[in-house]
């Protein structure tokens, strides 16, 4: 659900428009804010904003619209006349609607503004603090430096890091990472864990934790030992 700030929505016409927008898209949580809300409050509270121009007082909507845009909040401003009144409509964070407008139009413009601000699709990576596993390149970096791992060390680390906090027995790791009953038995898991620890653990990090008499778990940075 996306939280959307309502700014200047104080009369019956604006309230009917807000109700129509809410009825169209149940994934939007419409939250009334005052027109003098600080931009840092908007940035920390909502994913988008709707500004009802006629309800922003004598100062007009320009200040609050640009405050929201400066905070990185996508904003749709609804204006009573076909005049921008100092609003920079060229900014990608800002969409403009002129009255009369329908809930459908406002909703479409809000979705457009929010889609432009959406983060780019993340790459195929597993990230735990400063430990980054690039699953496409089969690379591991720690604090920005590449960690040289063998293929099995990489596969073991990837498997554990994909399931943080979960304890795996040596037998389960052997089946999942080596995919068969390895000739060397479960001792090979201990050997690979010891090698991994020598390469990724230091005084700051202890990623692989031993669960005595059971096996191993991956502990995220800052996670408590058990």
Q: How far from 189 is each of 11, 170, 186, CA to CA, in Å?
A: 68, 6, 5
Confidence check: pLDDT of 181 > 60: no
187 falls in which pLDDT band (50, 70, 90)?
confident
Length of the chain (residues): 226
Please tell me the predicted confidence (pLDDT) of residue 200. 92
Top-level class of domain 125-218 = mainly alpha
CATH code of the domain occupying 2-117: 3.40.50.720
**Is the preceding omega at residue 103 within 30 degrees of 0, hence cis?**
no
Q: Where are the chain's structural domains?
A: 2-117, 125-218
The structure tokens 């609804």 sit at: 78
What percent of the chain is predicted at pLDDT more than 70?
90
- Nearest partner of 113 among 24, 202, 46, 31, judged by Cα: 46
pLDDT tens, residue by residue, 18-28: 999 999 888 88
Tokens of 135: 């699953």
Sort residue 148 into left (φ over 0), alpha (ψ -120 to 50) or beta.
beta
Please tell me the predicted confidence (pLDDT) of residue 113. 85
Task: Say what the alpha-carbon torsion angle 104, 110, 112, 118 is, to the nearest 10 degrees.
Answer: -140
Tokens of 198: 């020598």
Question: Which residues face 141 on adjacent strands?
Answer: 132, 146
Whether 59 and 77 have beta carbons less than 8 Å apart is answered as no
- Nearest partner of 100 among 16, 29, 28, judged by Cα: 16
pLDDT tens, residue by residue, 27-85: 888 988 876 777 677 777 788 889 898 888 777 788 888 888 887 888 999 998 877 77
Tokens of 184: 């060397």
């Amino acid at each position: 659900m996306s939280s959307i700030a309502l700014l200047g929505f104080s009369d019956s016409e604006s309230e009917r428009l807000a109700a129509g927008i809410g009825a169209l898209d149940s994934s939007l949580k419409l939250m009334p804010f005052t027109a003098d809300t600080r931009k840092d409050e908007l940035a920390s509270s909502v994913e988008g904003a709707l500004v009802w121009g006629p309800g922003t007082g004598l100062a007009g909507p320009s200040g609050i619209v640009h405050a929201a845009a400066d905070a990185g909040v996508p904003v749709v401003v609804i204006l009573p006349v076909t005049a921008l009144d100092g609003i920079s409509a060229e900014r990608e964070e800002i969409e403009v609607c002129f009255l009369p407008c329908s809930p459908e139009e406002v909703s479409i413009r809000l979705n457009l503004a929010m889609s432009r601000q959406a983060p780019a699709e993340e790459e195929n990576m597993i990230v735990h603090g400063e430990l980054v596993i690039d699953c496409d390149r089969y690379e591991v970096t720690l604090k920005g430096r590449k960690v040289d791992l063998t293929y099995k060390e990489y596969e073991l680390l990837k498997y554990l890091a994909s399931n943080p906090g979960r304890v795996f027995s040596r037998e389960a790791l052997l089946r999942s990472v080596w995919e068969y009953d390895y000739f060397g038995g479960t001792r090979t898991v201990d050997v690979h864990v010891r090698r991994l620890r020598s390469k990724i653990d230091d005084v700051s990090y202890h990623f692989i934790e031993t669960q005595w008499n059971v096996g191993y778990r991956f502990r995220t940075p800052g996670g408590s030992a058990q």
